[in-house]
Amino acid sequence: MKLYDAPLSPFCARVRIQLYAKGLEIPRAEPPGGPGSDAYREINPIGKIPALALDDGSVVPESSVIGEYLEDRFPEPSLRPSEPFARARMRLLCRFVDTYAEPPLHALFPYVTDPSTRDPAAIAARFEELTTRYDQLTRLLAPEGPLAAGPTLTLGDCTLFPLFFFATRIPPVLGGSDPTASRPRLAAWWEAVQQHPAVAKVDAELTQALRERLGAA
Ligand SMILES: N[C@@H](CCC(=O)N[C@@H](CS)C(=O)NCC(=O)O)C(=O)O
């Protein structure tokens, strides 16, 4: 198996947390020609990273699908709760990030890397949307915590951590606030998730990659 990966991608970071938490050593490679290239589309027709190339030549694209595939293929230690509602909550959190929370945050990134493009009205609109999403998210997290879907690390945490790595860094650069600062349940989750060794490792990787990216901007 081989994981097509890049250091700063939040989608790849989800998979790396899962690999580290499960103790899986799967070789990683940058996509040939970069994401979206013709060469890489020969491997993953969608052209995006991450993608997991299997030994029989087939490919599993899309981070959420890779996450479920790895759980099916390597069930222990499990990153899916066994209780049906907790598992549904975990899947809801993953879907919520992809469908509702990640797009407005993603839209802010170019304003950080290229200040000349900053549009105050557009930035304010994104902040407003993100405020709604963070408020919604606090009600979707498992109330008993401390992690996203209960006491142990799940795919929900793997998906949420990279989002909040950027959510705690990008808006403050643009005059926005840290979303964990004013939301106690979110703050408790954020505090707890960073204690997990697999998360701490990816935190360090993302920190280094972001430093290099912003240094090069
Ligand atoms: N829905 C995809 C999103 C992956 C994604 O957007 N990856 C970015 C890197 S962070 C990418 O490959 N962009 C290159 C492109 O769109 O051509 C997933 O969850 O895997």
Q: Write out pLDDT tens, residues 1-50.
A: 999 999 999 999 999 999 999 999 999 999 999 999 999 999 999 999 99
More confident site: 215 or 15: 15
Task: Identify the bridge partners of residue 52 per DSSP, sorted by sequence position.
Answer: 3, 60
Cα(197)–Cα(157) distance, integer angstroms = 13
**Spatial strand order in the sheet of 51-53:** 28-29, 2-4, 51-53, 59-61
Query: Does residue 217 register a pLDDT over 60?
Result: no
Stretch 95-104: mean pLDDT: 98
Would you say domain 84-216 falls under CATH 1.20.1050.10? yes
**Domain range annotation of the chain:** 2-73, 84-216
State the pLDDT confidence band at 215, using cuts at 50, 70 and 90.
confident
Cα(29)–Cα(25) distance, integer angstroms = 13
Residue 214: its pLDDT value, please? 84
Tens digit of each residue's pLDDT (9 = 90 or more) over 39-98: 999 999 999 999 999 999 999 999 999 999 999 999 999 999 999 999 999 999 999 999
Query: Does residue 195 register a pLDDT over 90?
Result: yes
Ligand 1 test: best mutation among 11, 65, 91, 213, most atoms within 8 Å of CB?
11
CA dihedral 73, 90, 206, 125 (to 10 degrees): 140
Query: Does residue 216 register a pLDDT over 80?
Result: no
**Sign of the CA dihedral running 7, 130, 197, 81:** negative
Residue 113: its pLDDT value, please? 87
The residue whose two tokens read 């650069």 is 173
**Confidence (pTM):** 0.96
Tens digit of each residue's pLDDT (9 = 90 or more) over 125-168: 999 999 999 999 999 999 999 999 999 999 999 999 999 999 99
Tens digit of each residue's pLDDT (9 = 90 or more) over 180-193: 998 999 999 999 99
**CATH says 2-73 is which class?**
alpha beta
* Ligand 1 geometric centre to CA of 196 (Å): 25
First-residue to last-residue Cα distance in the chain: 34
Ligand 1 test: best mutation among 38, 40, 49, most atoms within 8 Å of CB?
49
Cα(177)–Cα(20) distance, integer angstroms = 31
Residue nearest to atom 12 of ligand 1 (CA): 48
